[in-house]
Each structure stands twice: as C-alpha cells, then as structure tokens.
Chains A and B, each alone.
Chain A
Amino acid sequence: DTGVSQDPRHKITKRGQNVTFRCDPISEHNRLYWYRQTLGQGPEFLTYFQNEAQLEKSRLLSDRFSAERPKGSFSTLEIQRTEQGDSAMYLCASSLGFANTGELFFGEGSRLTVL
C-alpha cells in the first residue's frame, strides 16, 4: 500500500499522559499536513510542513502540541499532558508540489480517547 499511513489507529490514554502519533506520507510528497477532527465536524488545521520545514504552526492548539518532520519524510505529532478535550481524530495528509491547490491525500487517522 503506497498511501498515507498513520499509527496507531486508536489510542486510549489517561489524562495527563503524553501521546505521539506517527504519519508516513506518500513517498514523493513534499508537503505534509496535520488536522484534528471531532465527530461530525470538518478537519481543523493544526500545522504544515514543506519538506522538513514547519512553515505554519500558529494553529497548534496549545503549547502542549508539537510536531516534527526531521528528515522530510515521516512526521510525528506529540500531545503532552493530555486533557479530555484532546479526544478527537488526528488526520495526516500529504501532497505534492509547492502550491496549496494540489490534492491532499489523507490517512485513515489516529483516534485519541483521553479518559
């Protein structure tokens, strides 16, 4: 399968714990996006990478959220000291090119439940 893959698909954690999600984009794609989606709502933009550079991170929800893409390939999204309000689906998407009119290819998401 050469699509976008995310791991884990499901994560249940206790409040206060740290969680990390991994995204492997389509191999030749240089752009990588992270979104958060709550039930029945549209995805909410979190951050964006072009190759290894994080070009937009002002939309990260708080300083507990951080993302990396160290070698311009896979990316990780970490949430520290999780809160119940962090429960959501975290979607990763990748695209090819240098404009934001290209098609975004999404992974199946990582669903987080904070107890």
Chain B
Amino acid sequence: TQLLEQSPQFLSIQEGENLTVYCNSSSVFSSLQWYRQEPGEGPVLLVTVVTGGEVKKLKRLTFQFGDARKDSSLHITAAQPGDTGLYLCAGATGANNLFFGTGTRLTVIP
C-alpha cells in the first residue's frame, strides 16, 4: 500500500518548459525527501525537507513541504533533457520507515 500518491504519473514536455510534480498523502510525515532515478540505477537523493512550509531551491528545482507536512511539490524551471528520469518523493514516519511515492516519469524532449 502506497501512502504517497504522486501526480502526474507521466509527463512529457519540451525543453525549456516549466513543470510541477505533486506528492500527496493523508499521513503526516516528520520529513520528506525527493529522489531521482535513472534506468538501471538506484534512486539518488535530491533534497530533504523537514519543516512545514519549508522551501528549498536546487538550481532550477524548487521543493516545497506543505504546511501540514502531508504533501510536497517539485517545480522545475526551464526543463532540460538531462532532467529526464523517474522522480520519487519519500516520506518518513516514526523512526524506522521511509515510504516512497508512486513516482512521476518525466521525459524532456530536446
């Protein structure tokens, strides 16, 4: 059972366009992480957000943690083909578990 639902599931855009990926849950998380995964590889951490309402920027990527710590968003400005991949949010509950979202597969067309 996935606690975290991501939308959209698939996204195909032209180079230079902006996009937003959403990660939603009915559960409250102590922290939330975003990972990117490329084919044949394991996920790689992009960012961790801990405080409700927190916004973090990583070059063209902007991450926001919802005020209630139940949701998050990832916004990419001026997407590039190198941004292509599977984007995963992951929420921490309790002390031991880190649950991943359903994933958003992004394709940026040159």
Contacts and interface: CB of A to CB of B under 8 A. Distances in A.
Interface of A: 4, 33, 35, 40-45, 48, 50, 55-56, 59, 91, 93, 99-101, 103-109
B61 to A, nearest CB: 16
Contacts of B41: 106, 108
Given A48-B97, A56-B97, A101-B30, A108 B50 contact: no
Given A43-B43, A43-B88, A45-B98, A101 B48 contact: yes
Contacts, number: 71
B88 A106 contact: no
A56 B42 contact: no
Contact of A106 (B2, B44, B96): B44
24 contacts: A40-B103, A41-B102, A42-B2, A42-B4, A42-B100, A42-B103, A43-B100, A55-B95, A55-B96, A100-B94, A100-B96, A100-B97, A101-B33, A101-B48, A103-B33, A103-B45, A104-B33, A104-B35, A104-B43, A104-B90, A106-B42, A106-B43, A106-B44, A108-B40
